[in-house]
Structure 1
Amino acid sequence: MRETTVTRGDIALHTRVDGVDDPAAPTVVFANSLGTTLHLWDPVMDLLPKGIRYIRWDKRGHGQSSVPDGPYTMGQLIGDAEAVCDALDVRDCVFVGLSVGGMIAQGLAVKRMDIVRAMVLSNTAAKIGTPAIWADRIATVRAQGLEAMAGGIMQRWFGPDFCATPAVQPWQQMLIDTPLEGYLGVCAAISGTDFFTPTSGLRLPTLGIAGSEDKATPPDLVRETTNLIPGSSFALIRRAGHLPCGEKPEEYAQILTDFLTRTGTVPHVT
């Protein structure tokens, strides 16, 4: 494991490399959801294949990355992903994006075909919500703060079984610890994004993953976006919400491993 900082202008992006720390190795890049850090992926990391370089970073306004004044744009978030990939010599990767991370995946795949060879669109869509819904979310969070809303957000992030256990507490704390300006900045970026047309022009191996209990990006929404790309596949994780990698890590890791195998990413062992 190696932690590093990627600088893009006056923005510092906290980045972590796990697995094989070699640009020549097959590479998987992870992009996180709103209100989470790169530790979103901790539950699955030890369950994934060996021999691969795994890269993740904290979005601007989240975790240990810089918190510039908002609002942010999706173009800025995609540019940050591009900067991380260029700094670490990433080419022909499998890009795994969850929620807003899946929007970043779509945008980067359109912009940089040399970086993204295949992608996983997890609990995401070409368009999430409406500007009016996001304007209401921004106003409410600014007025009440994340702590007051954390319980309701957990109900969207996870299924009822998981929410009834103490395992939900670290995730709730991760949300509460998110800088307010960073959270609101990314909300604004999601609000202004509609990738239906550019995503429908993509031609690359794609897997969609949804949680049956996801109230933020329901399975039909994820499937609709995944189906924009010919030849794509879709997996449904039952009794899981918006963050199935945290709620059902074994099942999530198996689905991801199967996709990495199908796309030739898992190194061949003789």
Structure 2
Amino acid sequence: MKKFLSINGIEICVDDTEEGENALLLIHGLTGDKTTMYPIRDMFKDDYRVITIDTRGHGESTRPKEYTIDDHADDIHEIISELNLEKADVLGYSMGSYIALRAAEVKCDDIDHLVLACTKPNGKTSSVARLLKEANLDITQVSQEEMMGVILKASLAPQSYEKALNGEFNIDEILNGEESYELNEEEKAAEDASLADFDNSNDYDKVKCKTLVIGGEYDGINPPELGREVADGIDGAEFELIKDAGHLAFAEQSEEFQKVIKDFLNQ
């Protein structure tokens, strides 16, 4: 069920399956929204109450002119509270993993399991902005088609890339979700600015919840060694490498991705 929550002075849109004893909150990646996380939602909805969200600045949520990763982190805890959850498992993908980790560094008493998929410890800007800059493209001016072309090469394992070129792998559907909530130039700039010079590596010691970090073998956006660095920094964290997958490991190797997370959540 879709609902709007009043969070920290703005409206946050969430989609809540509302069924299941344990709650799993999913946080999407850059330029994404709740619908881009539906493939992961569908992996777990039979066993968990799955909550997908539009982070501030995205989807159907309020789009402030400026915000920070700390604002995102505060929103996560408020969402858990507003939904009257004592605790939730939190899974963040790409940009969502930076938010999820920052939220856990703020406090862990309402987070049970933390899953960080395709993550990195810090960055001067978003990984996508870096790739676009290397391709001489401006994130605030680039078309969705141009952005997808750059992301495609960096996102996929070789065999997945070949399938995408042959039309066997619908990359647009995966990246754009079920509905279209594109950001305009100002909104893209605000999104990119929210990740400027973020650094989660200074507060690893504050993460007390059980943590799993997942990397994709061929991830050119957030290479797996960066995820391993995060796992090595968090006491007791596990690291799992998904073979023959890139940044879209959840789609390229969906069964393995699901199994690794289910095994972890069932600990």
TM interval, shorter chain, is 0.7 to 0.9
User: How far 1:49 sits from its partner (Å)?
Assistant: 6.6
Greater shift, 164-173 or 228-237, is seen at 164-173
> Shift of residue 255 of structure 1?
0.9
SS in 2 for 1:203: coil
Shift of 1:82: 2.1
1:130 matched to 2:128: no
- Measure, in 2, the Cα distance between the counterparts of 1:247 and 1:66: 32
Residue 42 (structure 2) aligns with: 46
Instruction: Give RMSD over aligned pairs.
Output: 2.6
For the 8 Å contact 1:16–1:55, the answer to whether it is kept is yes
Maintained 8 Å contact 2:126/2:195: no
After superposition, the Cα gap between the structure-2 partners of 1:81 and 1:182, relative to the gap in structure 1 and judged at 3 Å, is: farther
- Structure 1 window deviating more from structure 2 (169-178 vs 180-189): it is 169-178
Residue of structure 2 equivalent to 1:89 = 84
In 2, Cα distance between the equivalents of 1:214 and 1:109?
24
The answer to whether the 8 A contact 1:202-1:229 is kept is yes
Q: 1:179 aligns with which of 183, 199, 204?
A: 183
* CA–CA distance in structure 2, aligned partners of residues 216 and 244 of structure 1: 12
How far did residue 161 of structure 1 move? 3.0
The 3-state SS of whatever aligns with 2:35 is helix
- Structure 2 equivalent of residue 265 of structure 1: none
**Are 1:170 and 2:181 counterparts?**
no
Tell me the alpha carbon deviations over residues 128-187 of structure 1, each in whole angstroms, 9 at most, x when there is no partner. Answer: x32598589587122333333221112223334333234112135459852133333222
Provide closer, same or farther for how the CA distance between residues 26 and 144 of structure 1 changes in structure 2, counting only shifts above 3 A: closer
Q: State the distance in 2 between where 1:215 and 1:184 align.
A: 22
How many angstroms apart in 1 are the aligned matches of 2:149 and 2:126? 22
Pairing partner for 2:203 from 191, 198, 201: 198
- Per-residue CA distance 1:45-96 (angstroms, 9 max, x = gap): 33327342111101122222222213x2111111222221111022322111
Corresponding letter in the other structure for 1:168: I
Partner of 2:13: 14
* Runs (5+) with no aligned partner, structure 1: 263-270
Q: How many residues align?
A: 256
Shift of residue 214, structure 1, vs aligned partner: 0.7
**Aligned pair 1:106/2:101, yes or no?**
yes
Percent of residue pairs identical: 24
Alpha-carbon distance in structure 1 between the residues aligned to 2:258 and 2:94:
17
Match of 1:151 among 122, 133, 149: 149
- Change beyond 3 A, Cα 1:35–1:26: same
Q: 1:49 to 1:84 in 2, by over 3 A?
A: closer
User: Which runs of 5 or more structure 2 residues have no equivalent in the other structure?
Assistant: none
Residue 28 of structure 1: aligned partner: 24
Letter of the 2:111 partner, please give it. V
Contact kept? 1:60, 1:182, Cα under 8 Å:
no
- Code of the aligned partner of 1:122: A
CA contact (8 A) 2:29 2:95 kept: yes
Relative to 1, partners in 2 of residues 1:18 and 1:247: Cα closer, same or farther, differing over 3 Å? farther
Greater mean deviation of Cα atoms: 97-106 or 153-162: 153-162
Tell me which residue corresponds to 1:189: 194
Contact 1:74–1:192 (CA<8 Å) still a contact in 2? no
Q: Return the letter of the residue paired with 2:71.
A: Q
Note the C-alpha offset of 1:18. 1.8
- Match for residue 61 of structure 1? 57
1:102-143 per-residue CA deviation (whole Å, 9 max, x = no partner) reads: 11111111223221122011111221x325985895871223
